[in-house]
Structure 1
Amino acid sequence: MAHQLFLIRHGQTEWSLSGKHTGRTDIPLTPAGEVQARAAGVTLGTLRKGPALVLSSPRRRATHTAELAGLEVSEMTEELAEWDYGDYEGITTETIRETDPGWTVWTHPIPGGESAEQVAARADKVLERVHAALTESDVVLIGHGHFSRVLVARWIGEPPSAGVHFALDPASITVLGDERGEPQIEHLNLPSN
């Protein structure tokens, strides 16, 4: 594979700062998140060598991150949307654990939301498209924390629950590639500053 896959998590929002699960809710970047997004564009510019297919979640926090990073989005797709947290939307893990001790997004059901298997199926669909596009150019995906962590896990053939092992800070960049045909995480959670 001659080209690379770049993942950019959207910049900071009030909810990402407070730890609230943010799936469907479309909230804006904070001023700090806007600074992070601009910095991510600079960092990405040092990593990327040529043109790229740029796909983004349709949530404003992702599209605004792309815009501030200087990226022209080729297409917005719900396939890159964040995990659907259902009844846990806007609630922190600590609050959820008051009624469901030990709960994590990685290991427990989400009432009214997506299962880990459903999120993995979306990630696999994205990766199928990415693999085809990588024969022509780099690919940049602008999305969200939990979904992107599942995407990294699926890239290297791991189950969605393996995403727990990958940290992705706001506006961080992850680079995925391969070594002689074997999927590889080249860089994980690169800071945007």
Structure 2
Amino acid sequence: MVLLRHGQTEWAAAGRHTGRTDVALTAEGEKQARETGRRIDALGLRDTEVLCSPRERAVRTAEVAGLNTRTWDALVEWDYGDYEGLTTAEIRETVPGWTVWTHPCPGGEGFDAVDSRAELVLAVAESRLPEGDVVLVGHGHFSRALIARWAGLPLVEGRRFALSPGAITVLGFDHGVRQIVSHNVH
């Protein structure tokens, strides 16, 4: 299973939390998506099933990378609620020490909802692995939640996995045990 984070956007470059807002890729994001297409080719994943967040930045990344996708709402980014569009520094002006991993997002998605969604995505993707690889095109925080849950870690441990725009993470097995094969490759 391959996780692909969308390419750079203006909001991502500025550190703004981008959940529901549809923002376009920057020129750098388009370049990252093209480079990702070459990595997909190198991995032999051109004819693989690809599931993609319906957000423009994810769909465009998949398109530029040359992937034929099916969108799936379960792959959207964490809903940041009232913190949408704000940076961590701005949020910490009123909530010291805030992180998406350790504090709620008022008006947004709670930890249990994100965890349940991550488990659903992993169960569906894993059920398709006997037929071949699956590529999941999505977003930074939610992909990191997927990585943590794949590794059997609590959702909060997603904080330990950096995931750059346009990067790929490969999840697999070793003797039947889930493992992170490679991470944050760009």
TM-score (norm 2): 0.98
In the TM superposition, 1:1-193 aligns within 5 A as: 5-48=1-44, 51-73=47-69, 75-191=70-186
Q: Is the 8 A contact 2:5 2:168 kept in 1?
A: yes
Q: Is the 8 A contact 2:22 2:56 kept in 1?
A: yes
Q: Is the 8 A contact 1:117 1:160 kept in 2?
A: no
Distance 2:46 2:63 in 1: 18
Q: Is the 8 A contact 1:21 1:90 kept in 2?
A: yes
Unaligned runs of 5+ in 1: none
Amino acid at match of 1:58: P
Q: Is the 8 A contact 2:5 2:58 kept in 1?
A: yes
Change (3 A) 1:13 1:50: closer
What is the Cα-based RMSD across aligned positions, in Å?
A: 0.9
Q: Which moved further from structure 2: 108-117 or 30-39?
A: 108-117
TM-score (norm 1): 0.95
Distance 2:58 2:99 in 1: 24
Q: CA deviation at 1:48?
A: 2.7
Cα distance per residue 1:93-134 (max 9 Å; x no partner): 000000000011000011000112211110100111011100
Unaligned runs of 5+ in 2: none
SS at match of 1:134: helix
Q: Which runs of 4+ in 1 moved over 2 A?
A: 48-51
How many equivalent residue pairs?
186
